[in-house]
């Protein structure tokens, strides 16, 4: 991701997230953010933060015009393929109600390793997070 991608990334985040990241948050993560580009247009992004030999997928999001046709799976596979060789485990958190994301991650080989009770805010109270992980060894 470069600075020129910022506007598109912030717009996709605003369309998709119930508590969207600010532009400043993306600035702080710019080195960890990859974009998916189709016909010169940014259609998605993923934020993957590396710490020594582990990594956390903090966010992955596609423009609503491009969901449900396999691009999420393709993008996630590419992001994982590009991780440095020393990374041996990848973690993420996802809302228990986010069925498309849970399906995406399960298909990509992630398994549930725990839950965080009331981790996310919703309009109706709090919502649990699933913790998922995949070994890359």
Ligand X SMILES: CC(C)(COP(=O)(O)OP(=O)(O)OC[C@H]1O[C@@H](n2cnc3c(N)ncnc32)[C@H](O)[C@@H]1OP(=O)(O)O)[C@@H](O)C(=O)NCCC(=O)NCCS
Q: Which residues bind ligand X (CB under 6 A)?
A: 16, 60-62, 67-73, 94, 98-101, 103-104, 107
Nearest residue (beta carbon) to ligand X: 72
33-38/111-122 β-pairing: unpaired
- Taking the complex as a whole, the smallest distance from the CB of residue 119 to ligand X amounts, in Å, to 12
- Taking the complex as a whole, the smallest distance from the CB of residue 97 to ligand X amounts, in Å, to 10
> Judged by CB, which is closer to ligand X: 1, or 104?
104
- DSSP lists the bridge partners of residue 38 as 41
DSSP state of 97: T
Residues 12, 18, 21: CA angle, nearest 5 degrees: 55
> Judged by CB, which is closer to ligand X: 48, or 101?
101
> Judged by CB, which is closer to ligand X: 41, or 86?
41
- DSSP lists the bridge partners of residue 62 as 44
């Amino acid at each position: 991701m470069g600075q020129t991608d910022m506007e598109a990334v912030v717009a996709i985040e605003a369309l998709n997230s119930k508590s969207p990241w600010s532009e400043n948050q993306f600035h702080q993560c710019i080195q960890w953010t990859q974009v998916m580009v189709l016909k010169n247009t940014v259609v998605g992004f993923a934020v993957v933060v590396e710490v020594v030999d582990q990594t956390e997928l903090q966010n992955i999001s596609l423009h609503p015009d491009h969901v449900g046709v396999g691009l999420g799976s393709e993008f996630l596979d590419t992001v994982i393929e590009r991780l440095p060789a020393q990374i041996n485990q990848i973690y993420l958190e996802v809302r228990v109600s986010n069925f498309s994301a849970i399906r995406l991650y399960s298909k990509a080989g992630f398994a549930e390793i725990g839950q965080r009770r009331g981790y996310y805010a919703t309009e109706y109270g709090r919502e649990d997070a699933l913790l998922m992980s995949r070994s890359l060894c």
